[in-house]
């Protein structure tokens, strides 16, 4: 067998109080796509950052083409031929494709930058790899899928032989994912080796040759994808049997709780983010909003909860006018909200668990009387919430930031659901949570549905939408492209709508006129 | 009043004065633009300029040569640039607060340096010290063109440095690899870091330039226009130069136009003062600052500063 292009031997990396990686063995063969599979916090990113010179491993050896190497900084990794495509792209939005690709490299006429010649050169290289990219376009003008290809191009331009892709599908539509897969397969034919970091089992099976599973910072096993199954991989990843379906009782939707009529709103830049949206959510029903991140879902959730003004249309909650009411008024109408970002908007990280738990009821009796907290009532309330929602904490006085992601989200759930809301707006409720915590959050949402809540679920994870929703609405550039029944929904139809294709009466789809970039 | 006003704007000297009054603003603002584009708030220009004024006087006075003054002004400016860099770049302190500290501190330091240098037998000199100044240099041929010549090409040498600086900074920012690094560092330092650019190094380099040209701006005030030193002689010009950067939306041409606008306001108020109308001079001195405030209203909401402006760079945050 030929020498692997990269070999890790007993790599170890610790942070104060945490062992991020321990006894990691990994070998990457030339021309393979090798999945690095693990849950959030399993140590995948830390490991790759060690490889890319962002962190220094505390122990172990790294071999590149058989020779032991030390990687002190990104520059060293690049010089060896390691290219990294980060989950959050490292592209400079106002710069052009060419400028981003050549950034940091000396030019042929140093110190001068001959933009025109470079544009031509980059254009030719892009074409050689089959990328359709305009080198003079500025990054912010490009769709996410194309931006990702710019990142790949950037690595290839630096003569990368090993490409590390960190959760590359997180921001893509199903169609873009398929395009990415064909690009990757094409690249391996040209001799490139690829490390594919993911927590999605289907992707591992679809595109990878071998897979290394990480759990709690350690390598569980490396197997050929042809010799394994998603079920087996899931077991390795989580450490126990996983049931990937949510148990959801059949219920008949009741009265209309949320009614949107031609609602529009602007985003933070003043551009139209929510465009003429009409929909209804009923009791005992989960309406899932699918869509690629940044298509107005967050803004829609904020309009419903009163955090963002509607510029047009009408919001009704249980038949009462709720358009542009204050968040407090809307909350008192029976609306609960799980914000998409629990660290910034979901919780006050420097406040205690108690203070976070009473965040919605702090001004009411019995929690406070005439503006003064009632210690006994507060304690009773928090103790019950911590018990009911299984928040794993040594005590209620701990700061929210000291909890794990799953337990933080349990605090949010306890605060929002303990009042038995009529409407729950859940935006990315399981973002960044591990499988166990995800199960818990989903079970709680299904329970709220059974109790009679109407739920507006916003998620960019199609899996989540499909497993929970009674009906699915797809959002694209601020508009609803269509609403489908959740049962037996066609993933390809949803994918097409996520990319901007309208649903028609007959159920077939027509492509919206191509918009200029 | 109207007659007086028209006599001002019909006078060719007025236009030459605009160029002259704009020069220190231009040198500071354009010289600091690269640091701004690298993501540093150069609110510290006031102190760099102030140090430049006293550097100019000391150098020129001690060596009896105005060019020695220019050299020392640059050194003093760079020194402040480096000190600012230690706090703003290496330590990562709050840049506005650090700048305020430097600006207030240098107010005292400049006066002390001045007094110590020109002390006579342990006594602080009472009379104003006069030092050699740079000569007004007319550019051959260009200086003879009617109107254009006297307005643009009959000035102190540092004015011409300002002229050259605008296209040079534009060229550096957009047509060199280093300029590309500067822009990337100011917009997305982590992206720059991942391709092996040293964010810290680039920011220090731009701060050295900011200090050098702001020092030069100070020298212009002390050893071109006056040949002597007064306490707080920049009188907020560093802040106005900063405003010109905002007004010009971080584009070299725009920033240059901004300095011209504020220079014009300054030239105008001086002339109205000289007309001896019954306007209290304190009101007139306000004029450039009022123009600054009005100019800022007009750019509100449309200014797009470098995305990483004022944010210290830290590596290990993922």
Pairing of strands A501-503, A509-511: antiparallel
Write the pLDDT tens digit of every residue in B228-263. Answer: 999 999 999 999 999 999 989 999 999 999 999 999
Partners of A287 in the beta sheet? A456, A471
Write the pLDDT tens digit of every residue in A168-191. Answer: 987 788 888 889 999 999 999 999
Q: Look at residue A509 in the predicted model and tell me its pLDDT.
A: 46
A127 and A218 belong to one structural domain? yes
Q: Confirm whether A44 is domain-assigned.
A: yes
A113 touches chain B (CB under 8 A): yes
A319 and A446 belong to one structural domain? yes
Residue B122 has pLDDT above 80, yes or no: no
Residue A512 has pLDDT above 60, yes or no: no
How far B307 CA sits from the closest chain A CA (Å)? Answer: 10
Count contacts between A and B (CB, < 8 Å). 78
A494 touches chain B (CB under 8 A): no
Choosing from A213, A238, A263, the residue where a domain stops is A238
Choosing from A364, A394, A418, the residue where a domain stops is A418
The residues in A 16-45 lying below 8 A from B, measured between CB atoms, are: 45
CB contact under 8 A, A103 and B307: no
A354 and A373 belong to one structural domain? yes
Q: Look at residue A507 in the predicted model and tell me its pLDDT.
A: 47
* A297, A464 contact by CB (below 8 A): no
Write the pLDDT tens digit of every residue in A42-75. Answer: 888 889 989 998 888 999 999 999 999 999 888 8
ipTM of the assembly?
A: 0.87
Rg (CA), chain B: 20
Of B176, B197, B315, the CB nearest to A112: B176
* A358, A382 contact by CB (below 8 A): yes
Write the pLDDT tens digit of every residue in B47-63. Answer: 999 999 999 999 999 99
A77 and A41 belong to one structural domain? yes
Q: How far is CA A317 from the centre of its chain?
A: 29
* A285, A468 contact by CB (below 8 A): no
Instruction: Tell me the average pLDDT across A378-405.
Output: 90
A206 and A260 belong to one structural domain? no
Angstrom distance (rounded) from CA B308 to CA A359: 33
Residue A39 has pLDDT above 90, yes or no: no
A372 and A478 belong to one structural domain? no
A201 and A299 belong to one structural domain? no
Site from A87, A104, A110 to mutate, B interface, most B CB atoms within 10 angstroms: A104
Query: For residue A113, which residues of chain B lie inside 8 Å, CB to CB?
Result: 174-177, 179-180
What are the φ/ψ torsions at residue A11 (nearest 5 degrees)? -75, 140
A259 and A395 belong to one structural domain? no
Q: Confirm whether A227 is domain-assigned.
A: yes
Residue A511 has pLDDT above 50, yes or no: no
How far B39 CA sits from the closest chain A CA (Å)? Answer: 13
Instruction: Tell me the average pLDDT across A342-360.
Output: 91
Write the pLDDT tens digit of every residue in B68-98. Answer: 999 999 999 999 999 999 999 999 999 999 9
Structure token digits, residue B252: 């070299």
User: By C-alpha distance, which of A232, A192, A190, A191 is closest to A211?
Assistant: A232
How far B177 CA sits from the closest chain A CA (Å)? Answer: 5
Q: Look at residue A1 in the predicted model and tell me its pLDDT.
A: 56
Helix (H) or strand (E) holding A82: strand A82-85
Q: Confirm whether A248 is domain-assigned.
A: no
How far A255 CA sits from the closest chain B CA (Å)? Answer: 44
DSSP symbols for A58-74: SEEEEEETTEEE---SH
Structure token digits, residue B54: 């006293």
Residue A290 CA: distances (Å) to CA of A67, A137, A383, B68: 47, 29, 36, 69
Surface-to-core class of residue A319, CB atoms within 10 Å of its CB (0-12 exposed, 13-18 middle, 19+ buried): exposed
B194 touches chain A (CB under 8 A): yes
Residue A295 DSSP one-character state:
S
CATH number, domain at A187?
3.40.50.300
Of A73, A90, A93, the CB nearest to B190: A90
Ranked by mean pLDDT, which of A338-352, A403-417, B196-210 comes out on top?
B196-210
A33 and A107 belong to one structural domain? yes
User: Helix, strand or coil for residue A289?
Assistant: strand
Of A55, A84, A107, the CB nearest to B194: A84
Q: Which of the four pLDDT bands, split at 50, 70 and 90, describes residue A436?
A: confident
User: Could you tell me the residue range of the domain that residue A361 belongs to?
Assistant: 347-418
Q: Look at residue A387 in the predicted model and tell me its pLDDT.
A: 93
Choosing from A238, A267, A289, the residue where a domain stops is A238
- Between A28 and A342, name the one with better pLDDT: A28
> Cα dihedral sign for A270, A273, A278, A279?
negative
CB contact under 8 A, B191 and A92: yes
Write the pLDDT tens digit of every residue in A298-335. Answer: 999 999 999 999 999 999 999 999 999 999 999 999 99
Residue B136 DSSP one-character state:
P
Angstrom distance (rounded) from CA A441 to CA A443: 5
A179 and A234 belong to one structural domain? yes
Average pLDDT in chain A: 90
A244 touches chain B (CB under 8 A): no
Q: Look at residue B301 in the predicted model and tell me its pLDDT.
A: 57
Residue A416 has pLDDT above 70, yes or no: yes
Residue A373 has pLDDT above 70, yes or no: yes
Structure token digits, residue A392: 């794993």
A224 and A270 belong to one structural domain? no
Q: Which of the four pLDDT bands, split at 50, 70 and 90, describes residue A256?
A: very high
Q: Domain tally for chain A?
A: 3
Angstrom distance (rounded) from CA B69 to CA B132: 9
Angstrom distance (rounded) from CA B112 to CA B21: 27
Helix axes B12-37, B177-187, angle to 10 degrees: 70
* B233, B24 contact by CB (below 8 A): no
CB contact under 8 A, A103 and B181: yes
Write the pLDDT tens digit of every residue in A70-117. Answer: 998 888 999 999 999 988 899 999 999 999 999 999 988 889 999 999
Write the pLDDT tens digit of every residue in A201-247. Answer: 888 999 999 999 999 889 999 999 999 998 889 889 888 776 666 78
A187 and A273 belong to one structural domain? no
B307 touches chain A (CB under 8 A): yes
Residue A412 has pLDDT above 90, yes or no: yes
The residues in A 44-63 lying below 8 A from B, measured between CB atoms, are: 45, 49, 52, 54-55
* A382, A355 contact by CB (below 8 A): no
User: By C-alpha distance, which of B312, B292, B314, B315 is closest to B85?
Assistant: B312
Longest CA pairwise span in chain A (Å): 78
Residue B210 has pLDDT above 90, yes or no: yes
Q: Confirm whether A341 is domain-assigned.
A: no
DSSP H helices in chain B: 2-9, 12-37, 45-63, 66-85, 95-117, 148-152, 157-175, 177-187, 189-194, 199-219, 237-247, 252-275, 281-299
What are the φ/ψ torsions at residue A166 (nearest 5 degrees)? -95, 110
Q: Look at residue A517 in the predicted model and tell me its pLDDT.
A: 40
User: By C-alpha distance, which of B15, B38, B22 is closest to B255?
Assistant: B22
Residue A513 has pLDDT above 50, yes or no: no
């Amino acid at each position: 067998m030929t020498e692997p292009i990269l070999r890790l031997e007993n790599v170890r990396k610790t942070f104060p109080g945490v062992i991020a990686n321990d006894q990691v063995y990994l070998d990457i063969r030339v021309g393979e796509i090798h999945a690095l599979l693990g849950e959030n916090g399993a140590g995948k990113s830390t490991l790759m950052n060690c490889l890319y010179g962002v962190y220094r491993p505390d122990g172990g050896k790294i071999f590149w083409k058989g020779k032991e190497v030390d990687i002190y900084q990104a520059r060293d990794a690049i010089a060896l031929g390691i290219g990294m495509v980060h989950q959050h792209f490292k592209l400079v939005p106002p710069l052009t494709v060419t400028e981003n690709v050549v950034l940091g490299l000396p030019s042929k006429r140093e110190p001068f930058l001959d933009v025109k010649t470079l544009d031509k050169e980059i254009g030719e290289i892009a074409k050689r790899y089959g990328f359709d990219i305009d080198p003079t376009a500025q990054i912010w003008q490009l769709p996410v899928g194309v931006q990702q290809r710019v990142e790949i191009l950037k690595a290839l331009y630096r003569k990368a032989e090993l490409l590390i892709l960190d959760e590359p599908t997180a921001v893509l539509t199903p169609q873009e994912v398929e395009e990415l897969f064909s690009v990757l397969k094409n690249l391996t034919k040209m001799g490139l080796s690829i490390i594919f970091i993911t927590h999605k089992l289907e992707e591992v099976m679809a595109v990878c040759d071998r897979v290394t599973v990480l759990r709690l910072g350690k390598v569980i096993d490396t197997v050929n994808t042809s010799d394994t199954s998603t079920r087996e991989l899931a077991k390795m990843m989580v450490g126990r049997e996983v049931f990937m379906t949510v148990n959801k009782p059949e219920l008949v939707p009741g009265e209309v709780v949320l009614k949107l009529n031609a609602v529009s709103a602007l985003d933070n830049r003043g551009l139209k983010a929510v465009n003429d949206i009409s929909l209804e959510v009923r009791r005992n029903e989960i309406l899932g909003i699918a869509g690629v991140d940044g298509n107005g879902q967050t803004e829609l959730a904020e309009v419903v909860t009163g955090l963002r003004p509607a510029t047009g249309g009408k919001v009704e909650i249980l038949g009462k006018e709720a358009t542009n009411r204050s968040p407090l008024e809307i909350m008192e109408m029976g609306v609960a909200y799980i914000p998409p970002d629990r660290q910034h908007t979901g919780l006050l990280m420097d406040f205690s668990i108690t203070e976070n738990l009473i965040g919605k009821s702090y001004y009411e009796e019995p929690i406070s009387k005439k503006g003064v907290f009632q210690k006994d009532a507060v304690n009773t309330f928090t103790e019950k919430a911590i018990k009911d929602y299984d928040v794993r904490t040594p005590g209620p006085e701990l700061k929210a930031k000291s909890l794990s992601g799953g337990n933080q989200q349990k605090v949010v759930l306890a605060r929002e659901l303990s009042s038995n809301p009529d409407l729950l707006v859940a935006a990315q409720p399981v973002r960044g949570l591990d499988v166990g915590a995800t199960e818990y959050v989903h079970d709680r949402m299904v329970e709220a549905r059974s109790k009679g809540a109407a739920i507006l679920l916003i998620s960019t994870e199609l899996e989540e939408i499909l497993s929970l929703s009674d009906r699915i609405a797809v959002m694209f550039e601020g508009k609803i492209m269509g609403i489908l029944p959740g049962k037996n929904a066609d993933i390809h139809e949803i994918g097409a709508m996520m990319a901007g294709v309208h649903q028609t009466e007959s159920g077939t789809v027509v492509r919206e006129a191509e918009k200029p970039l | 009043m109207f007659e007086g006003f028209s006599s001002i704007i019909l006078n060719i000297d007025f236009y030459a004065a605009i160029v002259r009054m704009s020069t220190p603003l231009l040198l500071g603002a354009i010289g600091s633009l690269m640091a701004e584009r690298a993501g540093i708030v150069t609110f510290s220009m006031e102190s760099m300029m102030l140090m430049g004024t006293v550097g100019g006087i000391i150098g020129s006075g001690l060596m009896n040569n105005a060019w020695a003054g220019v050299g020392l002004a640059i050194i003093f400016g760079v020194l402040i640039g480096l000190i600012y860099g230690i706090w703003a770049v290496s330590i990562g302190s709050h840049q506005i607060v650090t700048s305020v500290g430097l600006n207030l501190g240098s107010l005292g330091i400049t006066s002390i340096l001045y007094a110590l240098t020109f002390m006579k037998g342990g006594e602080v000199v009472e009379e104003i010290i006069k030092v050699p100044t740079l000569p007004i240099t007319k550019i051959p041929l260009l200086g003879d063109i009617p109107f254009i010549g006297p307005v643009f090409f009959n000035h102190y040498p540092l004015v011409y440095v300002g002229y050259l600086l605008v296209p040079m900074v534009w060229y550096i920012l957009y047509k060199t690899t280093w300029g590309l690094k500067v822009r990337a560092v100011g917009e997305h330092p982590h992206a720059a870091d991942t391709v092996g650019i040293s964010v810290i190094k680039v920011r220090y380099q731009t701060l050295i330039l900011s200090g050098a040209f702001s020092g030069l701006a100070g020298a212009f005030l002390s050893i071109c226009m006056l040949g002597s030193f007064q306490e707080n002689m920049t009188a907020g010009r560093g802040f106005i130069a900063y405003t010109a950067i905002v007004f010009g939306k971080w584009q070299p041409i725009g920033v240059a136009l901004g300095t011209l606008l504020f220079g014009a306001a300054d030239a105008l108020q001086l002339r109205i003062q000289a007309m001896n109308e019954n306007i209290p001079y304190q009101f007139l001195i306000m004029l450039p600052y009022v123009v600054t405030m009005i100019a800022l209203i007009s750019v509100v909401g449309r200014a797009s500063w470098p995305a990483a402006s004022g944010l210290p760079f830290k590596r290990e945050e993922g």
